[in-house]
C-alpha cells in the first residue's frame, strides 16, 4: 500500500479515535501527521512513544513502546484515566499567594511518588516576598523539602527571575506543571513558551474536523529544549484514593523506617513501637510531615 516504512514517533495529541504523531527520527524529523490507530494498540495517550507509518493522507500507528511513567486522573465516573505517558518531571508550583499549606504540597508529592515521576518544587512570585517574616516562613517550608532530597527553585514571572534555571531543568525531558489555581502556572508556561496560545492550540484541530471536543493533553516543545505536556486536567492533577501503604511510600523520608515498626500491621497512629513515631521524636522525620501523613490517611 501507500504507507511508508515503520518509524519512531511521539503522540502529540489525541483526537477521538485518531492521534497526532510527530516523527522523531529520519531526515524529516519533526514532521507531524494525523494517524489512525491499529485496533491492537490500546489507549494511546499524549507522550507515548510509538512505531508508525506515514500515509498519503492519514498515517497509522502500529505499536506503542513501553512507558516509563503514566499520569492518570479520575474521570467524571471516578475511574482513573491515563492522560500522559513518559513524563519525567512534575513541576509543583507554589506561591506566597495563594498561600500554600504544607498538606497540599504533601498530597501532590505523594501523587508524584506514586507515579514515579520526579517532582520539583517551584516557588513562584518571589517578588511578593518583601516582608522578612513572609520570606522566612516560605524558605523554612521549602527547606523541609530540600532536606528530604527534593529539588526546589524560586521564580518570578513578573521579575523574569529564575526562568533560566527553569529552562535548564526542562531540557531533554518531558515536564508537566501542576499546582493550585492562581499560583502562576499559566504565567510560567507563557514565559517559557512564547507565542503559543495553549487553549487555542489544543482545541482548533477538533473544531476544524467537526469532532466532538474532549479536553486532551497536548505536547509542546520548549524553544530552548525539552517538552511540556499540558491540559487543564493535568494542572489540577492531585491525590486520588490511594491506600495507606501507597501514601506511606509517598513520603520518601519514611522509607528507612517502614519495615521497622514492632508490629507488621502498624497503623502508625500511636501504635506501640512505631518506628515512624520514634523517628519523629528523634528529629529524623519532620513532625509536620508526619502530621500531614496522618491527615491524608485519615481523610
Ligand atoms: P494559574 O492559575 O496557576 O495558571 O495562575 P496564573 O498564571 O493565571 O496567575 C495567577 C495570577 O498571578 C495572575 O494575576 C498573574 O498575573 C499573577 N502572577 C503570575 N506570576 C506572578 C509573579 O511572578 N509575581 C506576581 N506578583 N504575580 C504573578
Ligand atoms: Zn508504625
Q: Point out the ligand nearest to the CA of residue 130.
A: 1
Distance (Å) from CA 184 to ligand 1 centroid: 4
CB 292 within 8 A of CB 102: yes
How far from the centroid of its chain's Cα atoms is residue 161's Cα?
22
Give the CA angle between residues 18, 22, 23 to the nearest 5°. 125
Ligand 1 neighbour 154 (Cβ under 6 A): no
CB 214 within 8 A of CB 231: no
Residue 123 pLDDT more than 70? Answer: yes
Ligand 1 neighbour 187 (Cβ under 6 A): yes
For the chain, the average pLDDT equals 89
Distance (Å) from CA 187 to ligand 1 centroid: 6
What's the pLDDT at 78?
Answer: 72
Within 148-272, where are the H helices? 163-170, 185-192, 198-209, 232-235, 244-249
Residue 250 pLDDT more than 90? Answer: yes
CA-based Rg of the chain, rounded to a whole angstrom? 21
Tell me the β-bridge partners of 82.
72
pLDDT in tens, 175-222: 999 998 899 999 999 999 987 766 533 444 444 444 434 457 899 999
Exposure letters 73-101 (e unless 16+ CB within 10 A, then b): beeeeeeeebbbbbbbbbbbbbbbeeebe
Nearest to 241 by CA among 82, 126, 79: 79
Q: How many CB atoms lie within 10 A of CB 146?
A: 12
- By alpha-carbon position, which residue is closest to atom 22 of ligand 1? 125
Exposure letters 160-186 (e unless 16+ CB within 10 A, then b): ebbbeebbebbeebbbbbbbbeebbbb
Q: How many CB atoms lie within 10 A of CB 196?
A: 17
CATH superfamily of 7-64: Nucleic acid-binding proteins (2.40.50.140)
Domain covering 244-297, topology: Ribonucleotide Reductase Protein R1; domain 1 (1.10.40)
pLDDT in tens, 37-47: 999 998 899 99
Residue 294 pLDDT more than 50? Answer: yes
Residue 150 pLDDT more than 50? Answer: yes
Residue 13 pLDDT more than 60? Answer: yes
Q: Point out the ligand nearest to the CA of residue 270.
A: 2
The DSSP line for 267-298 is -SSS-TT-HHHHHHHHTSS-HHHHHHHHHHHT
Ligand 1 neighbour 191 (Cβ under 6 A): no
**CATH number, span 70-204+213-235:** 3.40.50.300
Distance (Å) from CA 181 to ligand 1 centroid: 9
What's the pLDDT at 215?
Answer: 58
Q: What is the mean pLDDT of residues 270-297?
A: 96
pLDDT in tens, 75-107: 777 777 888 999 999 999 999 999 887 688 999
C-alpha span between 95 and 185 (Å, rounded) = 10
C-alpha span between 84 and 251 (Å, rounded) = 23
Distance (Å) from CA 259 to ligand 2 centroid: 8
C-alpha span between 290 and 114 (Å, rounded) = 18
C-alpha span between 100 and 229 (Å, rounded) = 24
Question: Which backbone phi and psi does 241 adopt, to 5 degrees?
Answer: -70, 95
Ligand 1 neighbour 166 (Cβ under 6 A): no
Name every residue whose Cβ is closer than 8 Å to that of residue 133 and which is 6 or more positions away in sequence. none
**Where along the chain do its domains lie?**
7-64, 70-204+213-235, 244-297
Residue 236 pLDDT more than 60? Answer: yes
How far from the centroid of its chain's Cα atoms is residue 143's Cα?
22
Terminal C-alpha separation, the chain: 57
Tell me the helices (H) and strands (E) count for the chain, helix number first: 9, 13
- Grid cell locating 218: 497536548
Residue 270 pLDDT more than 50? Answer: yes
Q: What is the mean pLDDT of residues 41-56?
A: 95
Q: What ipTM was predicted for this assembly?
A: 0.98
What's the pLDDT at 276?
Answer: 98
What's the pLDDT at 23?
Answer: 97
Tell me the β-bridge partners of 106.
none
CB 166 within 8 A of CB 80: no
Amino acid at each position: 500500500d501507500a504507507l511508508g516504512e515503520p518509524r519512531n514517533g511521539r503522540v502529540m495529541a489525541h483526537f477521538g479515535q485518531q492521534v497526532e504523531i510527530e516523527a522523531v527520527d529520519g531526515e524529516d524529523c519533526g514532521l507531524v501527521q494525523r494517524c489512525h490507530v491499529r485496533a491492537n494498540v490500546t489507549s494511546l495517550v499524549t507522550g507515548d512513544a510509538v512505531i508508525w507509518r506515514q500515509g498519503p493522507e492519514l498515517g497509522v500507528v502500529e505499536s506503542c513502546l513501553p512507558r516509563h511513567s503514566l499520569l492518570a486522573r479520575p474521570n467524571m465516573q471516578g475511574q482513573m484515566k491515563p492522560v500522559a505517558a513518559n513524563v519525567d518531571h512534575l513541576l509543583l508550583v507554589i506561591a506566597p499567594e495563594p498561600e500554600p499549606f504544607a498538606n497540599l504540597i504533601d498530597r501532590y508529592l505523594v501523587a508524584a511518588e506514586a507515579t514515579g515521576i520526579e517532582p520539583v518544587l517551584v516557588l513562584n512570585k518571589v517578588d511578593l516576598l518583601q516582608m522578612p517574616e513572609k520570606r522566612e516562613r516560605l524558605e523554612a517550608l521549602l527547606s523541609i523539602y530540600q532536606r528530604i532530597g527534593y529539588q526546589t527553585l524560586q521564580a518570578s514571572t513578573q521579575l523574569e527571575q529564575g526562568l533560566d534555571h527553569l529552562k535548564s531543568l526542562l531540557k531533554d525531558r518531558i515536564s508537566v506543571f501542576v499546582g493550585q489555581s492562581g499560583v502562576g502556572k499559566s504565567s510560567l508556561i507563557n514565559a517559557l513558551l512564547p507565542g503559543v496560545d495553549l487553549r487555542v492550540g489544543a482545541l482548533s484541530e477538533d473544531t476544524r474536523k467537526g469532532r466532538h471536543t474532549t479536553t486532551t493533553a497536548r505536547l509542546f516543545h520548549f524553544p530552548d529544549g525539552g517538552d511540556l505536556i499540558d491540559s487543564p486536567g493535568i494542572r489540577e492533577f492531585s491525590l486520588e484514593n490511594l491506600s495507606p501503604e501507597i501514601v506511606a511510600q509517598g513520603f520518601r523520608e519514611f522509607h528507612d523506617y517502614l519495615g521497622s515498626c514492632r508490629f507488621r500491621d502498624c497503623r502508625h497512629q500511636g501504635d506501640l513501637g512505631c518506628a515512624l513515631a520514634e523517628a519523629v521524636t528523634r528529629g529524623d522525620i519532620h513532625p509536620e510531615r508526619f502530621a500531614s501523613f496522618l491527615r491524608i490517611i485519615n481523610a
